[in-house]
Amino acid sequence: MDDFKNFNKALEFIDNHLDSEITERDIYQLTSYSYNVFSRIFSVLSGIPLGEYIRSRKLSAAAIELQEEHTKVVDVAMKYGYQSSDAFSYAFKSFHGCSPSEVKKGEGFHIAQPLRFSLTVRGGQFKTKIEVKEGFRLVGICADVRPEQMSVEIWKELSNQLVMKCPRDWAENNQLYGLFFHGESEGTIHYMIGFRISDSIEEVDIQKLGLDRIDIPEEKYAVVNLGGELPNNIHQAWSYLLGIFLPQEGYRHAGSYDFELYSGYEVNSPDFSIELWVPIVKQV
């Protein structure tokens, strides 16, 4: 429950500081999570990237200020972090459907409402187990994608690239891993699909093939198995794990990597299944 309280404190802080930069230190002090982990959990629970939420809240505040206080467009642009009035006007029109000058003259505009999280218990939706998994190494291919672009096609494209690049005898089993990070570009997710490999594979050989490597530490995980063909309830399962199971059972995200584990390469196969793994620690 404390995580939700802290998340809401962070969201309130963001809403009260739309005219200043929100730093990683700010987020950590309010939530005890890194910016990347907070952003990941926020996007799962809300359905939108954190950067997109902050941008929409800034543009909403900017529109109100333009119409009610008649502030100059260039001053509002600078106040909300835009380097030029042109960049601000472009983002403003993309969000509101009209220009800043039109809003100053009384044109209607959109308001992105502030978000707050609450715990809704719907227990029994997803069978969850707790399991300790030893540390391991992954090699794979990464891509920055927007959340709405995540699809079976993206998964197939990256997994096909991986199978072509990575020697099959490197893979310790017939499984693929999908990892999520905060994207380098605003509003994107850094997604990696990879194989688990043994410690005997040399780093120089990994680099020669142009593959990325990540070391996953030993962790205790909350695990949900979504058996059968590619399920359409993956997002609901992530929301259940992060938004219901963890706070209800007194756990919080451990701050390392959460991932999807795919049993095979053919998403339409009846033997294909997905497991969701979230690293956890007990609330203190």
> What was the pLDDT predicted at 277?
94
What does the alpha-carbon distance between residue 237 and residue 226 come to, in Å, rounded to a whole number?
8
Contacts of 169 by beta carbon, 8 Å cutoff, 6+ apart: none
Assess whether pLDDT exceeds 90 at residue 88. yes
What does the alpha-carbon distance between residue 181 and residue 241 come to, in Å, rounded to a whole number?
17
> What was the pLDDT predicted at 198?
86
Assess whether pLDDT exceeds 80 at residue 232. no
> What was the pLDDT predicted at 167?
83
Q: Which of 49, 68, 70 is nearest to 112 (CA)?
A: 49
Assess whether pLDDT exceeds 90 at residue 55. yes
> What is the mean predicted confidence (pLDDT) over 78-96?
94
> What was the pLDDT predicted at 273?
81
> What was the pLDDT predicted at 78?
95
Helix (H, G, I), strand (E, B) or coil at 116: coil
Mean pLDDT of all residues belonging to the chain: 85
Instruction: Read off the tokens for 81.
Output: 């972090």
Q: Which residues of 62-92 are buried (b: 16+ CB within 10 A; e: fewer)?
A: bbebbbeeebebeebbebbbbeebeebbebb
Which residues, in sequence order, are bridge partners of residue 145?
Answer: 189
> What is the mean predicted confidence (pLDDT) over 232-241?
81
CATH 3.40.640.10 describes domain 128-282 = no
Residue for token pair 């380098």 = 184
What does the alpha-carbon distance between residue 141 and residue 269 come to, in Å, rounded to a whole number?
23
pLDDT band at 248 (very low <50, low <70, confident <90, very high): confident
CATH 1.10.10.60 describes domain 1-104 = yes
Assess whether pLDDT exceeds 60 at residue 70. yes
pTM over the 0.75 mark: yes
Contact between residue 147 and residue 46 where contact means Cβ atoms under 8 Å apart? no
What phi-psi label fits residue 211: left (phi over 0), alpha (psi between -120 and 50 degrees) or beta? Answer: beta
pLDDT tens digit sequence for 129-156: 999 999 999 999 988 776 656 666 777 7
What are the extents of the domains in the chain? 1-104, 128-282
> What was the pLDDT predicted at 228?
54
What does the alpha-carbon distance between residue 132 and residue 60 come to, in Å, rounded to a whole number?
45
What does the alpha-carbon distance between residue 24 and residue 109 come to, in Å, rounded to a whole number?
31
> What was the pLDDT predicted at 57?
95
> What was the pLDDT predicted at 138?
92
Assess whether pLDDT exceeds 70 at residue 39. yes
> What was the pLDDT predicted at 147?
62
What phi-psi label fits residue 156: left (phi over 0), alpha (psi between -120 and 50 degrees) or beta? Answer: alpha
Q: Which of 201, 188, 175 is nearest to 259 (CA)?
A: 175
Between 270 and 3, the higher pLDDT residue: 3
Instruction: Read off the tokens for 44.
Output: 């799962």
pLDDT tens digit sequence for 155-206: 778 888 888 888 878 888 878 898 887 655 555 677 889 989 988 888 888 8
pLDDT band at 265 (very low <50, low <70, confident <90, very high): low
> What was the pLDDT predicted at 284?
76
